[in-house]
Structure 1
Amino acid sequence: MNTFARIAGALLCLCLSEHALSAEFRKSSLGPSAPDLIEVAGELIQGDEAKFIETAIKSADAIVVFHSAGGNLLAGIEIGKAIRLKGFSTLVPDNMHCASACALAWLAGRVRLMSDTARVGFHAVYTSEDGETRVSSAGNAIAGAYLNQLGIPMSAIIYITGAPPDSMQWLNFADAQRVGIEVKRLNLTEDAKASQPPVQSTSSVDLLAAIAEETRNILGATNKPNDVAIAYLQQKYSEQVSYYGKSLSKASVVSDKLTFFQRWPVRNYSLVADSLRVTCDTQSTCASEGKVEWSATNPKATSQGSAAFSYGWSFEAGVWKVRSERSKVISRSVSPNGTEASGSSHLPQYHLDQSGGRVASLTNLYQGTDCHASGQTVGKVARRSFSNDGVALTGFVIEGSDGNREFVNTSVEFGALDAATAAWIRQGMNTLIREGRTAAISTKACGAAGRVLMLDSVR
């Protein structure tokens, strides 16, 4: 009997409760020369890291199996550090889940294992006071430092910490490959095999062709009149969709599409020749990716450019549906139409670094007309100001090399942007304008006396 068959057998009698008041830990032997099996189930609380270390300290090698909705951030991180120090592997098996602080601990595995039916979920670190939930900047900084120590790439760190506290970013194999999280597939209940190869059945060619056709159809639907396009999309999305890094309902996704279609009523999206790639993990889960070139027009402006896209597909009730969608703009330009050409109608734009996972600069941020360019400044961000809810950046103090300080206001019309562009610009505002960072900015002087500085670009 191989090691993975022994794991499957051991987990058949898993009796630890996920709903315990604190996490429970159990260690069992898988036999001579095989790693130990350490099971972790339940909510992680402060002090559980010591219990884990006590359980694991004598094991020379082990596979740590998780089944937990999360819990205390520091407990999860310290368990993860112990796992990495010992060189253990981590596993979320069939039909179990590991979220939040649990998922951070799972990431520490020397080898990360996950079943097709397992769920590993991430979201931003948060605090809860007086019944109000807020993103914790300090907590996310701690999590980011830990992930950096594990060697997790920046694209993955953004993915892991991107979902707001009231939602969850559920990891799938396509996303893991895209953002750089190394994960191996392990389905214990299917003959206890260590992994499943990509689909290689006699129908695999037909399966790949079907997903390619589905992808062309959904891109083609984008070019149709708004009512026709929306009617098609209504039937093509799963009830819950990973949409540009956020877990949204189908209704929310379709609503976002409708907003975009209404803003740009004339659209022409075309698939770049030979760019489409399709892979299938199983007969019911596939992914497609490629590049498109587009032109979209409204009475005031024309937007043109190209983008890389990816869809995750699942076979549900006899129909292929989109379970995840992402895209990354490669190039984009917006030009005014007709009489608008004399005005300043350029929308805010972002520019990525060479990795394609981090915003390097933002431009055209302020659209006010009662302003004039006031020059460029290079200085350190000394302090930031936020809206009453503590979420939206409203301005910051920048200190020049001569010690002089100026307050710069920020105001971006996110309502004029599609969801993907808005997400990248929000990310850029958070990373490029952070306290202690040296930033190069250009501003506009606004108001009757030109004394109000508005941020127009930053890098």
Structure 2
Amino acid sequence: MFPAARRHLLAIAFCAAPALPAAAAEFVVIDGGPGMPSIIEVSGPIVPGDADRFWKQSRNLDKAIVMLESPGGDVEEGLSIGAEVHQRGFTAFVPPDGECYSMCAIIWAAAKHRVMDRTSTIGAHAAFARRAQADGSVQAYESGMANADIGAFLNDVGLSRKAIRYFTWAAPDDFNLITPEVAQLLDIDTTVIDGDTLYNVEDRPTPGTIARQTATYMFLQGDCASLLGMDDAFLRQQGEERLKFGHQIFGGEVFMDRLPEMADRIKMTQERMALKDWCTAAAGDLHTDKLPLGISGPSFDCSKASSRTEHAICGSFDLWLQDRALGSLYSVIRSKGADRERADLTRRQRDWIGQRERCGADEQCIADRYNAWFLDLSLLGAGAR
């Protein structure tokens, strides 16, 4: 259900909108009160100077819902507003029966958190300019430069190639509508309000999300299972289940188009990161998605945790992963050393545990200690080969 407090806040916003001039966008800021986001209403056409006005209205806000009802307007101003919304982590919302077209749709898509109502109308088309004709009429024509700028911007904020084409495809006198179903197929994570029911992003996974999860399981199985002490067969099974799930929801043609793209993205990311960092980040992403990894704690038995540090590790999934990775590397290096080397390694490990314990329950301090000892162990392992 839509939370009562937020429903009340939005009702205030709807009632507070003043009569709007046709010449420029109107910005109305409504304070959300303690613990609630403020609301920034953006209504009317977007014209030169509006990006600066938006910044002045929003610069002191930590959290905000940007409510959009606009026919669009100036490309450069719209992209600047969209960049501000994206960078600030604001939520973009097209309210019930609201209409958001052209650059307004670009601003909505640029947000990291997007919300629409089942009755919202969001439409996108190619950017265009107007040229006066000899007979006094005005002709609209597509602007290649503006469309290139929009495409590059949407790529930077994370939209898929299919979504970018959809947003810049329709002719200047037409619109491609973004319904909840279209947004889902275009890999645009969107929260949808349908009457009194709120469908979160997790309730409406996109083909790209499921393809990313499938590919992540595949790469974890191949590259990270031994490092993080995970069961290889379990990861394979989970990857196969996500693959079947994607097929069931979207069909093979739609879903399988996403899988190679996501695998390529993961591979490129892997190449830029140390293996341990990628493995822990990838496992963390699946955990955030509330997907199983087959692990229930760090490398030690949390029922026997006795210190503040050990309890902090047991309470943090990220620290589980750090502990499991370090434990695997320590075991490998120790198994390869001679008796004297193993004794020295054991002594250094005890010294490190002492350093870690001095962190108390400070999770960042504990993570720093893990990273430092993992690096030292990696160098020891390289020297032993």
Please report the TM-score for the alignment, with normalisation by the length of structure 2: 0.50
Partners of 1:17 and 1:41 within 8 A in 2: no
Residue 110 of structure 1: how far off its partner (Å): 2.0
Residue 169 (structure 1) aligned to one of 173, 176, 186 = 176
SS for the counterpart of 1:70 is: coil
Structure 2 vs 1, CA of residues 108 and 309 (structure 1 numbering), >3 Å: closer, same or farther?
Answer: closer
Structure 1, unmatched stretches of 5+, are 200-274, 279-288, 292-307, 311-327, 331-351, 357-459
Structure 2 vs 1, CA of residues 45 and 109 (structure 1 numbering), >3 Å: closer, same or farther?
Answer: same
Identity %: 28
Structure 2 vs 1, CA of residues 177 and 128 (structure 1 numbering), >3 Å: closer, same or farther?
Answer: same
Partners of 1:4 and 1:194 within 8 A in 2: no
Show the counterpart of 2:54.
52
Show the counterpart of 1:148.
155
Equivalent AA in structure 1 for residue 189 of structure 2: E
Residue 16 of structure 1: how far off its partner (Å): 3.7
Q: Give every structure 1 segment of 4 or more consecutive aligned residues whose post-TM-superposition deviation is greater than 2 Å.
A: 1-4, 14-20, 193-199, 275-278, 352-356
Show the counterpart of 1:117.
119
SS for the counterpart of 1:186 is: strand
1:92 equivalent in alignment to 2:94: yes
Partners of 1:6 and 1:30 within 8 A in 2: no
Partners of 1:120 and 1:171 within 8 A in 2: yes
Structure 2 vs 1, CA of residues 29 and 181 (structure 1 numbering), >3 Å: closer, same or farther?
Answer: same
Partners of 2:29 and 2:38 within 8 A in 1: yes
Structure 2 vs 1, CA of residues 28 and 126 (structure 1 numbering), >3 Å: closer, same or farther?
Answer: same
Q: Distance in 2 between matches of 1:19 and 1:95?
A: 20
Residue 137 (structure 1) aligned to one of 106, 124, 144 = 144
Structure 2 vs 1, CA of residues 133 and 64 (structure 1 numbering), >3 Å: closer, same or farther?
Answer: same
Structure 2, unmatched stretches of 5+, are 133-137, 204-245, 263-385
Equivalent AA in structure 1 for residue 180 of structure 2: F
Give 1 or 2: higher helix fraction. 2
Q: Distance in 1 between matches of 2:115 and 2:157?
A: 16
Residue 133 of structure 1: how far off its partner (Å): 1.3
Structure 2 vs 1, CA of residues 353 and 27 (structure 1 numbering), >3 Å: closer, same or farther?
Answer: closer
1:51-96 alpha-carbon deviations (Å, 9 max, x no partner): 1111101101101000001111111111111111211111001000
Partners of 2:127 and 2:142 within 8 A in 1: yes
1:291-323 alpha-carbon deviations (Å, 9 max, x no partner): 7xxxxxxxxxxxxxxxx489xxxxxxxxxxxxx
Structure 2 vs 1, CA of residues 54 and 170 (structure 1 numbering), >3 Å: closer, same or farther?
Answer: same
Q: Distance in 2 between matches of 1:183 and 1:155?
A: 16
Equivalent AA in structure 1 for residue 190 of structure 2: V
SS for the counterpart of 1:45 is: coil
Residue 100 of structure 1: how far off its partner (Å): 0.4
Give 1 or 2: higher strand fraction. 1
Residue 136 of structure 1: how far off its partner (Å): 0.7
Show the counterpart of 2:230.
none
Q: Distance in 1 between matches of 2:90 and 2:200?
A: 22
Show the counterpart of 2:17.
15
- Structure 1 window deviating more from structure 2 (178-187 vs 66-75): it is 178-187
Equivalent AA in structure 2 for residue 179 of structure 1: L
Residue 195 (structure 1) aligned to one of 194, 199, 224 = 199
Compute the RMSD of aligned alpha carbons. Answer: 3.1
Show the counterpart of 2:43.
41
1:325-356 alpha-carbon deviations (Å, 9 max, x no partner): xxx9x9xxxxxxxxxxxxxxxxxxxxx99549
Q: Distance in 2 between matches of 1:106 and 1:13?
A: 22
Residue 108 of structure 1: how far off its partner (Å): 2.0
Structure 2 vs 1, CA of residues 141 and 17 (structure 1 numbering), >3 Å: closer, same or farther?
Answer: farther
Q: Distance in 2 between matches of 1:8 and 1:21?
A: 26
Equivalent AA in structure 2 for residue 94 of structure 1: P
Equivalent AA in structure 1 for residue 154 of structure 2: L
Q: Distance in 1 between matches of 2:161 and 2:247?
A: 26
Q: Distance in 1 between matches of 2:53 and 2:45?
A: 13
SS for the counterpart of 2:199 is: coil
Structure 2 vs 1, CA of residues 49 and 177 (structure 1 numbering), >3 Å: closer, same or farther?
Answer: same
Q: Distance in 2 between matches of 1:148 and 1:71?
A: 21
Q: Distance in 2 between matches of 1:165 and 1:60?
A: 36
Q: Distance in 2 between matches of 1:135 and 1:102?
A: 18
Q: Distance in 1 between matches of 2:25 and 2:19?
A: 8
Residue 7 of structure 1: how far off its partner (Å): 3.1
1:168-213 alpha-carbon deviations (Å, 9 max, x no partner): 00101222121211111124xx34x5438999xxxxxxxxxxxxxx
Please report the TM-score for the alignment, with normalisation by the length of structure 1: 0.43
Select the structure of larger CA radius of gyration. 2
Show the counterpart of 1:394.
none
SS for the counterpart of 1:53 is: helix
Partners of 1:19 and 1:43 within 8 A in 2: no
Structure 2 vs 1, CA of residues 18 and 167 (structure 1 numbering), >3 Å: closer, same or farther?
Answer: farther
Show the counterpart of 1:224.
none
State how 1:238-257 maps to structure 2 within 5 Å.
none
Structure 2 vs 1, CA of residues 197 and 181 (structure 1 numbering), >3 Å: closer, same or farther?
Answer: closer
Partners of 1:18 and 1:67 within 8 A in 2: no
Show the counterpart of 1:183.
190
Partners of 1:119 and 1:171 within 8 A in 2: yes
Give the count of matched residue pairs.
Answer: 214
Partners of 2:25 and 2:43 within 8 A in 1: yes
1:125-166 alpha-carbon deviations (Å, 9 max, x no partner): 111101111111100011111111111111111111111111
